[in-house]
Amino acid sequence: MSAAGVLIVCCLGAAVAYQGEFRAWQEGNFLVDYMPFLRRYQPGFAFPLFFAFCGTVWRSLTSKSRRNAWLFSTLSGVVFSLLVFSYFYLWTAAAAWLACVYVLTFFWARDLRENLWLNIKVVGAFALASFVPYFAMIADRSPNIDQVQLLANTRAPDLGSPSMVTGVLVAIGILVLLWKRRALADSPVTLFGLAFALTPVVLFNQQIITGHSLQPVHYELFIANYIVLAGLAILLSLLMSDAVTGLYKPARRPLLVMICMVAVVWGAWESYGSASRNAPFAELRDISIPAIRYIEEQEQRSPRDKGSAVVLATNTGTSDMIPTVASLRPLWSSHSSSVGSINVAENKRLFHHYLLLAGFTERDVGDALRSSSFEMTAALFGSERALPSLGQETDPITLAEIDAEVGLYSDFAHNFSRTSASDPEISYVIVPMTGEPDLRNLDKWYLRDQGTAAGNFRVYNVTLRP
């Protein structure tokens, strides 16, 4: 059952969040695909810690000896502290899940109350020790972060989350088993199953109390869906076992095998679809590395301060890859604003700067906006307008707004000067070997050498004209 639960949780996350192949099949579009918990190093790196935390809490509450209860309570505190400094959506989900476990255990499992109080005290001490430095750092955040990360002040409930709806259905299933006496109300298995199922209700509606909401779609994609699937796995285990003895019923094992096969096939389909769609962009990142490495080697022999060189990569995919590979600054990348040190106005100015020197015309900008190019739309209108699903209610972008933005870019290009070209001053330019863009705007303000071939790209060393 545990092995089956792993397959169910890991393979069906995108489907439960109504993303990936399921949404692509239904609507022809989606926000994320593949297996969302592996999207980036976070939540990928810390994702196992969440379930390790759940496991240590389980062992703490169900331990028969005081010594083991202390040991696993301490481990719970340690893992929770690691989660606090890993990924916001994981540690807050862990806190919400733990609150559900505490409430359900207190009211329904009196035999576990002694271990419950011990866990509350130990985990609470670790949490307090972690929160002091954590919130001190949060209080010292850049003033641009809240705007860039779309922190919203709202108390409106969220009742449309696919993960929350699925969780409520799982909770109803467990309650039905309790009503039919096919599950025990004071059993830790039942209580943990309910806690997993009901946690999304807390995650997507905590703003009713706190008044703040921070891109709740990240809960949907990276943890709430997996929490609900863990609850579903527990519901299946209750269906397949005897409420009194806890023994599994062999006659129901074929059903479990079929569920596992469905999960594996769906996970393979998610992987295949994502790999097919993203292969060109993944290849672009790979072939960009030699050019970036070449510049890094040049900078090691340069008298400039390390990390101060500014690079213009005319391809946005290459530009986005630069900080991942080397200590170099891209003139602009699609994640420049996420750092927090650049406000919205400055990010737009740098984007205009990037577009102009990379050879984009007013027509190119207008065509990209009208075709809903994400990078162009997000940079000029904000990510909340480009992706309304990030959590803020916004009006659709109108043709009049697009024309206005094209006009602003035209004004920027008309008023561009040597002072503008030097803020910041570019040191290198990366262009594709085939299909080199129009660099007349760059040549107006910069002198470039003959260029050096680096893989599929050519790298120019440039200096500002006198």
The DSSP code sequence of 77-108 is: HHHHHHHHTT-HHHHHHHHHHHHHHHHHHHHH
Quick one: angle between helices 225-240 and 162-179, nearest 10? Answer: 20
Confidence at 390, pLDDT banded by 50, 70, 90: low
Torsion angle (degrees, nearest 10) of CA 139, 349, 397, 362: -170
Residue of 237, 177, 263, 251 whose CA lies nearest to 1: 237
Tell whether 135 is covered by a domain. Answer: yes
Dihedral sign from CA coordinates of 23, 27, 28, 31: negative
Assess contact for 109 and 191: CB atoms under 8 A: yes
Confidence at 340, pLDDT banded by 50, 70, 90: low
Assess contact for 271 and 34: CB atoms under 8 A: yes
What's the domain range around 161? 2-248
User: Distance between terminal CA atoms of the chain?
Assistant: 72
- The type of residue at 29 is N
Q: How far apart are CA 257 and CA 288, in angstroms?
A: 44
Tell whether 258 is covered by a domain. Answer: no
Enter the tokens of residue 148: 């860039």
Tell whether 301 is covered by a domain. Answer: no
Q: Is pLDDT above 60 for 391?
A: no
Confidence at 269, pLDDT banded by 50, 70, 90: very high
Assess contact for 292 and 315: CB atoms under 8 A: no
pLDDT tens-place string over residues 31-73 = 888 899 998 889 999 999 999 999 999 999 999 999 999 999 9
Tell whether 191 is covered by a domain. Answer: yes
Phi-psi region of 362 (alpha: psi -120 to 50; beta: other; left: phi over 0): alpha
Cβ-based neighbours of 136, under 8 Å, separated by 6 or more: none
Measured CA distances, 304 to 299, 300, 324, 328, 419 (Å): 7, 9, 20, 12, 21
Assess contact for 119 and 73: CB atoms under 8 A: yes
Tell whether 49 is covered by a domain. Answer: yes
Task: Give mean pLDDT, residues 248-255.
Answer: 81
Please tell me the total count of domains within the chain. Answer: 1
Assess contact for 215 and 390: CB atoms under 8 A: yes
Q: Is pLDDT above 70 for 453?
A: yes
pLDDT at 443: 96
Assess contact for 461 and 310: CB atoms under 8 A: no
Cβ-based neighbours of 392, under 8 Å, separated by 6 or more: 150, 152, 384
Q: How far apart are CA 411 and CA 364, in angstroms?
A: 15
Tell whether 43 is covered by a domain. Answer: yes
Model-wide pTM > 0.75: yes
Tell whether 18 is covered by a domain. Answer: yes
H helices of 140-161, in order, are 145-148
Assess contact for 82 and 46: CB atoms under 8 A: yes
Measured CA distances, 398 to 275, 280, 349, 384 (Å): 34, 31, 22, 15
Task: Give mean pLDDT, residues 394-408.
Answer: 91
Cβ-based neighbours of 232, under 8 Å, separated by 6 or more: 8, 166, 170, 197
Assess contact for 426 and 312: CB atoms under 8 A: yes
Q: How far apart are CA 450 and CA 459, in angstroms?
A: 9
Confidence at 422, pLDDT banded by 50, 70, 90: very high
Residue of 58, 37, 57, 36 whose CA lies nearest to 47: 37
Tell whether 118 is covered by a domain. Answer: yes
Total residue count of the chain as it appears in this document: 466
pLDDT at 124: 98
pLDDT tens-place string over residues 186-203 = 999 999 999 999 999 999
SS3 category, 241: strand
pLDDT tens-place string over residues 2-26 = 899 999 999 999 999 999 999 988 8
